[in-house]
Amino acid sequence: MSLPISLMLAQVAPAAAPGNPLFSFLPLIALFVIFYFLMIRPQMKRQKEHRNMVSALAKGDEIVSNGGIAGRVEDVGESFLTVEIAPNVKIKLQKGAISQVLPKGTLKAS
């Protein structure tokens, strides 16, 4: 009685030893660490800087909005700012729409 070749090979080949499951997750863990340091951490730092900048806004600060509107802060509310963009022209902006605070006297020089 002869056995099929596949059965003979199955009997001859030893069973593969189960590997450590940590090694199968190691590339996934390494990828998450790389994403954290290259993407998540810098974004959290920028958000913190923006939050500190917005909370420090005061009357008289010169700002630029995300839309490129430059002006001087006239009034600071809980979530909105009143900004004078030209003599007697005032607009209200959300605090989150402020992209940068300019050095004092920048708008007069323009």
Last residue of a domain, one of 15, 35, 56: 56
Range of the domain at 52: 24-56
Are 50 and 64 within one domain?
A: no
Are 46 and 91 within one domain?
A: no
pLDDT confidence band for 23 (50 / 70 / 90)? confident
What is the Cα–Cα distance from 5 to 34, expressed in whole angstroms?
Answer: 48
Nearest partner of 97 among 67, 59, 55, 60, judged by Cα: 67
pTM over 0.75: no
Tell me the pLDDT tens digit for each residue of 27-42: 899 999 999 999 999 9
Kindly state whether residue 106 falls inside one of the protein's structural domains.
yes
Predicted local confidence at residue 102, as pLDDT:
94
Kindly state whether residue 17 falls inside one of the protein's structural domains.
no
Tell me the pLDDT tens digit for each residue of 32-68: 999 999 999 999 999 999 999 999 999 999 999 999 9
Beta strands in 37-88 (DSSP E): 62-65, 70-76, 80-86
Report the domain count for the chain. Answer: 2
CB-count exposure of residue 53 (10 Å: 0-12, 13-18, 19+): middle
